[in-house]
Amino acid sequence: MTAETLYGADDLTHLEGLEAVRKRPGMYIGSTDSRGINHLFAEIVDNATDEGVAGEATRVVVTLHADGSVQVDDDGRGIPTGTHAKSGLSGVELVLTRLHAGGKFGGSGYKTSGGLHGVGASAVNALSHRFDVVVKREGKVHQMSFAHGVPGVFDGPGPTAKFTRRSGLEITGKMKRGERTGTSIRYWYDARYFENGAKLDVDGVRQKMRNTAFLVPGVAYVLRTAVDDAISEESFHFPNGLTDMVEFLTPAGDRAVSGILLAVGEGTYTENAADENGVMRSKVERRAEVEVAFRWGTGYERTVECFTNTIRNVHGGTHRKGFERAALKSLQEAIARTRGLLKPKEDPPTLDDVLEGMTAVIHVRVPEPQFTSQTKDELSTAGITKVIGAVVERELKAWVDDRRTKAEAKVVLQKVVDASRVRLTQKQQKDAARRKTALEGAAMPAKLVDCRTTGLARSELFLVEGDSALGCFTGDTAVALASGGTLTFAELAADWDRGARHLGYATDAVGRVVVVPLVEPRRTKRAAPLVRVALRSGESVRCTPDHLFRLDDGSYRRADHLTPGTALMSLGALDRTGHRRERNRALADRAGVAVLAPPAPDHTVAAVEALAETADVYDLTVDEHHNFALAAGVFVHNSARMARVSEYQALLPLRGKILNVQKASLADTLRNAEIASIVQVLGAGTGRTFDLSTMRYGRVILMADADVDGSHIRTLLITLFAKYMRPVIEDGRLYAAMPPLHKITTKGRNPETRFTFTQREMETTLAALEKAGKQVVTPVPRFKGLGEMDADELWDTTMNPATRSVRRITLDDAEAAENALELLMGEKVEPRRAWLVESSGRVDQSAIDV
C-alpha cells in the first residue's frame, strides 16, 4: 500500500519581488549564457540611450572595469529621486527593485523608449552581487547600493565588502557649478546565475554601442576598458546617422550600384491598448516615425538590420516585413513599366532578387511597441507594416521617376532582373540533379552528358553518331600530366573508375598552354582501324585515321591527311618560345603540381602509316577546351562536348550503328545496349506504354556524319522512333541535324569562312566569291565526319539554334526510312539488286573514301 500524494494550498509558491527573476533568469534576460550577460549591459545602456532619444543626454560613457564590473554614465536628467506617493519609495529605489516600474508606460517621461516593461534595470539588479547607482539631479548627488536587489550599504569597495540592509536614497553631496545632471550605474553580475564559462563579450558591447551611436546621431558614446591600471578608450559618434551605418555595414570590396536612399516619414496606425486605468480600448491611434537607409552594391550578400526605438531586433519583425513588401512591389512595378528589361513570358523578380547586394537599416520609433519576448528580438506591432510600406513606396517611386536618378535606378532594376535569371538557372541546376529517370531510381548511362534545365520547352537531346568525334587512341598511348609524369589511356581510365583524378595540358584559342582536369578517360570503340603517326623526335602515336592533330598554326588536320614535314603544335616548342615556360610553371604551381620537363623539340611529322592491325581505342574529355597534350609532346583534338549550351542541350553518344529494328523482335531490340540507353534517357517508355508527357526533353536531334554511314545511322534511328516511339514524330519533336559538307576559306588579312551543305551550294558560293575578287584556299575541304570540325565550328554549324540548320522528321520520312531499310536490308534480294544497278549512275565518286 502506498501513501496518497496530497496537493493543497500550502504546496503553491508565490515568488515575490525580484525573487522570480533569480528563480527563472532566462525568462527575463533571454538566456543564461554569454548572451544573457550581454543583455544585462544592454538593459542599462538602453536606459541611458532613452535619455538621448528624448533630447536630454549628449554623452554616454561605458567603463569595463578590471574587476569585471560594468559602469554606465549618462548626462541625462537623472532617475527621479523624489518619493513615489503610492509606494512611499524614492523613484530610484522603485525602478530598481520593483518589476514593471518606470517612466515608460505612457506617461510624460518619454515619447518613445526602448524599455517598455519596467523589468530591465530591476532584473540586472536582481542578478548582481552588487549594484551601485549615483544620480545627479536638482543640484544634489544621490547614491544608493543593492545586493541581489536588496537595498543597503557596503562598508567598502567591491562586491565582497560587508553589506548591511538599509532602505532609502542617500544624499552624498552637492553638484558642482556647471556640472550636468545624469545617472551613473555600476554593477557586478553574479556568475552563479549563468552557465559555466559565460562572460561578457566585449565585441558585443562594442557592436551595441556602435549601432546605437548610428541610431542616435545626437549622442556620443565612449567605451573605456580598464585592464591592469591601463585604460583604453574608443569613441562612437556618427552625425550622419543611418547613412553612416549603411556605409559601415556594406561588405568590403562591394562597389556601389546606387547611392544611399533615405526614406524618412511618419504615419498613424491603430491598435487595442489599455488606458491609464488599465481598461482596454479599441482602435487607439498611434503615431510612428520611420527612417530607412539602403543601397545596392555589386556583391551578392544582403544585410538588413532592424531596430525599434534603438533596440536591435535580430529577427526583424513587422517593420522588416513592411519594408520588404514595399521594396518588392515598387521594383516589380518599375521593371514592368521599363521597356526591354523583362523578356516576354519571364516571371517577375522575387524578394530574394530585390535584396541581392542590398545593405539596409530600418529604424522605427513607436510609442508602445510590442515584441515577441522580453529580449525584443522581433517586433510584433502589426500596424507598423503599413506605415513603413507607405514611406518606402513613396521614396522608391520618386527615385525611379526622378530625371536626376532615373539612370541610376535603371541600373538597379537591371541588376534585379539579372539576379532573377541567375536564381532561376541555379534552381534548374538543382532540379536537374534530382531528375527521375525512366526506370525509377535507375542511374543514367555514364556516357550521357545531361543538361541542367528541367523545362521541356528548350531542352534538347542530341543523339550523336559514335565516339569518333570524341577521340580515339590505343590504350597504351601516354598522356602528359601536369604532375610531371605520364599515364596511358588505359591507366587513366582505371584511375577514373576508382576515383583518382589527374591534371593535364591544353591550349586555348590563341595557343597559350593551360593546366586542365582530364575528365572521364574511357574506352570508346573496339577493334578500330589504326594509323601510326611518326614524329621526327622519335616518338610515335597510334590512333584512328580520322583523329585530329593540332597544327602549329592552330588549325586541325586528320591523322591520315598529315604529310611528312607538317609542323604540329608542341608542348616543348611553346615552352621554348614564350607561351611559355614561365607561364607553364605558374599555371602548374597554381594547380599545386610540378612543371613538366620539355620533351624533344622537333615535333614535325616524319611519316604516317596505315596499320593492318586493329585495337580498342580510348578517349578523355577536357571541359572548356578541345585539345590535350600527349606524352609525345603534341596536342590532339578533344571531345565535342563543349560545343553545346549546357543549360538546355544534352548529348548521348551512340557507338556504331544501332540494331535494325525493322527485322528484330521487341525483346532483341530492348537488349541492344544503344537502344536501351536511348529509351532510358528519354524516360517515356516504348510501344504501347510510351507516354509523351513524361519525356525528359523537348526535342530529340539526330546528329550523324554527312556521309553514307551517317545516313544509314540516321535511317536506323528514324525507324526506331517510328516503330517504338511514334508519338515523338507525330508531335513534331524529332529532328535531324544538317552538318555542313564543305568549309570555304578566303585568303588575305581578313579571311572569311563559309560553310555549305550541298555540292551545288559550294559551287555557287565559290563563283560568288571569285566574282567579288576574293581568293579561296584550295582545295576546298570536305567534311566526312563531325570529328573533323573543332568545337567552335560544330557549334556554329550544327548546334547553335541561331545559325544551325535542322530538319523536322515527319511520318513521311519515317515511312521512307522503313522502305529504305526493307529494300537495302530486307530478305528479298531482287529488289535490292535492281535498285543498285539503277542507282549506280548517280554515285558521287568524290564523296567516296578510297
The DSSP 8-state label assigned to residue 845 in this structure reads G
Exposure of 597 by Cβ count < 10 A (0-12 exposed, 13-18 middle, 19+ buried)?
Answer: exposed
pLDDT in tens, 662-715: 677 767 777 788 888 888 888 888 877 788 888 888 899 988 777 667 777 888
pLDDT band at 468; cut points 50, 70, 90:
very low
Please tell me the distance from the alpha carbon of residue 499 to that of residue 669, in angstroms, as a whole number: 34
579-585 mean pLDDT: 42
Please tell me the distance from the alpha carbon of residue 456 to that of residue 475, in angstroms, as a whole number: 39
Partnered with residue 629 across adjacent β-strands are 635
User: Could you tell me the end-to-end alpha-carbon distance of the chain, in angstroms, rounded to an integer?
Assistant: 108
CB atoms within 10 A of CB 627: 25
Q: What is the pLDDT of residue 745?
A: 85
Distance of CA 683 to the CA centre of its chain: 30
The contacts of residue 587 (CB under 8 Å, 6+ apart) are 482, 513, 514, 515
Please tell me the distance from the alpha carbon of residue 805 to that of residue 810, in angstroms, as a whole number: 16
The proportion of the chain whose per-residue pLDDT surpasses 90, expressed as a percent, equals 32
Q: What is the pLDDT of residue 491?
A: 94
Please tell me the distance from the alpha carbon of residue 57 to that of residue 76, in angstroms, as a whole number: 4
The DSSP 8-state label assigned to residue 847 in this structure reads G
Assess whether pLDDT exceeds 50 at residue 27.
yes
Within 13 Å and on the Cβ side, how many CA atoms surround 196? 0
Assess whether pLDDT exceeds 70 at residue 636.
yes
Peptide bond into 833 cis (omega under 30): no
Exposure of 689 by Cβ count < 10 A (0-12 exposed, 13-18 middle, 19+ buried)?
Answer: exposed
Partnered with residue 151 across adjacent β-strands are 146
Average pLDDT, the chain: 81
Distance of CA 409 to the CA centre of its chain: 24
CB atoms within 10 A of CB 558: 21
Closest CA to 51 of 43, 62, 60, 42: 60
Assess whether pLDDT exceeds 90 at residue 62.
yes
Please tell me the distance from the alpha carbon of residue 626 to that of residue 792, in angstroms, as a whole number: 9
Most confident of 87-91, 435-439, 726-730: 726-730
Phi, psi of 715, deg, nearest 5? -65, -45
Instruction: Please give the C-alpha separations between residue 292 and each of 164, 255, 383, in angstroms, as whole numbers.
Output: 51, 20, 17
Q: What is the pLDDT of residue 438?
A: 35
Strand extents, DSSP E, 65-203: 70-74, 128-137, 140-147, 150-154, 163-165, 170-174, 182-189
Please tell me the distance from the alpha carbon of residue 825 to that of residue 664, in angstroms, as a whole number: 12
Assess whether pLDDT exceeds 70 at residue 375.
yes
- Are the C-beta atoms of residues 109 and 368 closer than 8 Å to each other? no
356-381 mean pLDDT: 88
Partnered with residue 294 across adjacent β-strands are 261, 360
pLDDT band at 298; cut points 50, 70, 90:
confident
pLDDT band at 452; cut points 50, 70, 90:
low
Please tell me the distance from the alpha carbon of residue 204 to that of residue 313, in angstroms, as a whole number: 15
Assess whether pLDDT exceeds 80 at residue 277.
no
**Least reliable range by pLDDT among 159-168, 204-213, 766-775, 820-829:** 820-829
Q: Write out the three cell numbers for 239.
A: 552625425
Closest CA to 392 of 496, 478, 267, 502: 267
Assess whether pLDDT exceeds 60 at residue 121.
yes
The contacts of residue 269 (CB under 8 Å, 6+ apart) are 285, 286, 288, 381, 382, 383, 384, 386, 387
pLDDT band at 749; cut points 50, 70, 90:
confident
Q: Which one-letter amino acid corresponds to residue 461?
A: L
How is 760-808 classified by DSSP, letter by letter? HHHHHHHHHHHHTT--B-SSPPB--SGGGS-HHHHIIIII-TTT--EEE
pLDDT band at 317; cut points 50, 70, 90:
very high
Strand (E) or helix (H) holding 226: strand 220-227
181-188 mean pLDDT: 95
Please tell me the distance from the alpha carbon of residue 81 to that of residue 101, in angstroms, as a whole number: 14
Partnered with residue 635 across adjacent β-strands are 629
Assess whether pLDDT exceeds 70 at residue 648.
yes
Q: Give the max Cα distance, the chain.
A: 129
Q: What is the pLDDT of residue 237?
A: 94
Please tell me the distance from the alpha carbon of residue 650 to that of residue 640, in angstroms, as a whole number: 12
The structure's pTM equals 0.51
pLDDT in tens, 537-578: 889 999 988 788 988 888 888 888 899 999 998 886 444 333
Between 13 and 363, name the one with better pLDDT.
Answer: 363
Closest CA to 743 of 777, 770, 781, 778: 781
Q: Write out the three cell numbers for 682.
A: 528519354
Distance of CA 496 to the CA centre of its chain: 29
pLDDT band at 235; cut points 50, 70, 90:
very high
Q: Are strands 605-621 and 513-535 parallel, antiparallel or unpaired?
A: antiparallel
Q: Write out the three cell numbers for 173.
A: 553631496
